[in-house]
Amino acid sequence: MPESTTKPLPEITADNKPYWDALSEGRLMLQRCAQCGKIRHYPRPVCDGCWSMKVEWVQASGLATVHSWTVTHHPFHQGFKTELPFTLVTVDLEEGVRLNAQTRGLDPAQLGIGQPVRIGFERVTDAITLPVIVSPV
C-alpha cells in the first residue's frame, strides 16, 4: 500500500484550538488550571491536580533545556523522507512541561542534557505552525 507523501497534521478541536491559533501567531501558549494554577501540556480538558475543567492560557517564555533527543535516519513516513536525517529533541520548558520538536540549526553531535535552547516557529499551512528547537541566542 503506498503511503501518503503528505505530512500528518493535527486535528484541531475545541480543546486545542487556542494552542494552534497562538502558534500561528508566533506564540507558544500553555494551559494553566484556573483553579489551582498548575500548568499542563499537551492540551487536555481536565487538570490532573485538582480535576477542575476551568482553564486559562498563558504565554510560555520560549526558554527551555534539552531533556533527550534522537536523530532519525529511517523513512518512517514518506512526507519526511527528503529531510532525513533530522533531529527530534524533547525539551523541558521553563514552565515545567515538555515539548517534542525538530531542531533547526543545532548540531546533534553537540546536544547534551540541560543544554539551553529556545522555541522557534515554522509555518506549515495557513492554519498550522509547528514549534521548532533553536539556539537560545
Residues numbered 68 to 127 that lie near other proteins (CB under 8 A) are 68-74, 76-77, 80, 83, 85-86, 88, 90, 97-102, 108, 112-113, 124
Cβ(98)–Cβ(90) under 8 Å? yes
Q: If binding is defined by CB under 8 A, does position 56 make contact with other proteins?
A: no
For residue 132, give Cα distances in angstroms to 7, 36, 47.
16, 30, 26
CA distance 89 to 42: 16
In one letter, which amino acid is 57? W
Residue 7 touches which of Zn ion, other proteins, none (Cβ within 5-8 Å per kind): other proteins
Q: Which of 10, 57, 53, 55 is nearest to 29 (CA)?
A: 57
Q: If binding is defined by CB under 8 A, does position 9 make contact with other proteins?
A: yes
Residue 52 touches which of other proteins, Zn ion, none (Cβ within 5-8 Å per kind): Zn ion
Residue 59 touches which of other proteins, Zn ion, none (Cβ within 5-8 Å per kind): none
Q: If binding is defined by CB under 5 A, does position 30 make contact with Zn ion?
A: no
